[in-house]
Structure 1
Amino acid sequence: MKEISAGGVVYRVRESKKEVQLIQDRYGKMTLPKGKMEQGETVEQTALREIREETGIVGSIVVALEKIEYQYTHPEHGTVDKEVHYYLVEATGGDLQAQIEEIRGVEWFDPHEAWKQQKESGYANNDSVLKKALEALRIEVEA
């Protein structure tokens, strides 16, 4: 079985400073908003819908960042081939509001603090996604 999801690294510019959004998932890990593609959607539409649903933020895609592929075991479907498409997304509106049915919280961070949170409490496969997003925003961080 194959499952396709999409999401993004959301950023905004506030008082001429860039901020990056991270969510805390139901397991307490810092991560990026993402979710499963619905019938008739493109991966880009999925990314923007999932960001809006999980965080309350409306955005526009700036650039594709990365596609991550991995497998996991589903109790009913067995081995699932998972594909997640990530985009750099500029926040254009909405109000920050965590979808509490799905996640514990959502917050804006200084880009260097977001990187620190990712390295300390994030999923390892998101390191390259966030690093590529920060590079696209012309922000350097230590690997």
Structure 2
Amino acid sequence: MKQSGVRGLPPQVLSGGQKSKVGMKTERQISSGGVIFRRNPLSIPPLKKGGERGIEVALIAVKEGKVWCLPKGLRENGETIARTAHREVKEETGLDGKIIKLIDHIQYFYAHKEAEETKRFFKIVYFFLMEYTQGDVKNHDSEVNDCQWFP
């Protein structure tokens, strides 16, 4: 999948290192993640009408297990957004999957304080739909507190 530019954003947001009105530099970050799903082998609740099995989605627990979210992470140099999504899902969930399609992206600003300096970031996160192929949620990495399948 070829990575495209981000439409609808002013150039000053995309150029990274720009100073905001309050004098704080804004850095740009790109992340990718995935909605990895499987057809529930146990079908709880029972089979749906027409014999279709229920669908489950893998979520990760972060912030000491208090928040459940989709797996995602920062793009590494030279990676496509699809490759980042695949790598991050595998690392954070212990699951491997086939990318079906790009779902959409979200974008937001946030600030992070390091030592005495506060940095401002503009982050774009791309999410891909992925079908589970193999792996076990018990094999998630130490970045996350837990990983489970949810109906």
TM-score normalised by length of structure 2: 0.67
1:45-90 CA distances to partner (integer Å, 9 max, x unpaired)? 0001000000110011112111100011122461101010001111
- Residues 21, 3 of structure 1: CA spacing in aligned structure 2 closer, same or farther, 3 A cutoff? same
Distance across 2 between alignment mates of 1:100 and 1:26: 14
TM-score, normalising length from structure 1? 0.71
Q: Which runs of 5+ in 2 are unaligned?
A: 1-26, 42-52
User: Identity of counterpart residues, as a percentage?
Assistant: 39
1:80 aligns with 2:80: no
SS at match of 1:102: coil
Q: Secondary structure at the match of 1:44?
A: helix
Alpha-carbon shift at residue 100 of structure 1 (Å): 5.0
Structure 2 SS opposite 1:30: strand
**1:105 alignment partner in structure 2:** 146
Q: Which residue of 2 aligns with 1:70?
A: 108
Q: What are structure 1's unaligned runs of at least 5 residues?
A: 111-143
1:14 maps onto 2:55 in alignment: no
Whichever residue aligns with residue 3 of structure 1, its letter is Q
SS in structure 2 opposite 1:65? strand
Equivalent-residue separation in structure 2 for 1:105 and 1:32 (angstroms) = 12
CA distance in structure 1 between the aligned counterparts of 2:91 and 2:59, rounded to whole angstroms: 14
CA displacement 1:84-130 (0-9 Å, x = unmatched): 000111111122235452111111111xxxxxxxxxxxxxxxxxxxx
For the aligned residue pairs, the C-alpha RMSD in angstroms reads 1.5
SS of the equivalent of 1:23 reads strand
Question: How far, CA to CA, are the matches of 2:130 and 2:107 in structure 1?
Answer: 20
Does the 8 Å CA contact 1:24/1:106 hold for their aligned counterparts? Answer: yes
* 2:62 corresponding residue in structure 1: 25
Count, aligned residues: 110
Kept after mapping to 1: 8 A contact 2:91/2:141: no
**Higher radius of gyration, 1 or 2:** 2
- 1:60 matched to 2:102? The reply is no
Report the Cα offset of residue 13 of structure 1.
Answer: 1.3
Write the deviation string for residues 10-46 of structure 1: whole angstroms up to 9, x where unpaired: 1011333321111111251110000000011000000
Q: Say if 2:77 is the partner of 1:36.
A: no
Hey, which of these two has a bigger chunk of helix by percent? 1
Partner residue of 2:84?
46
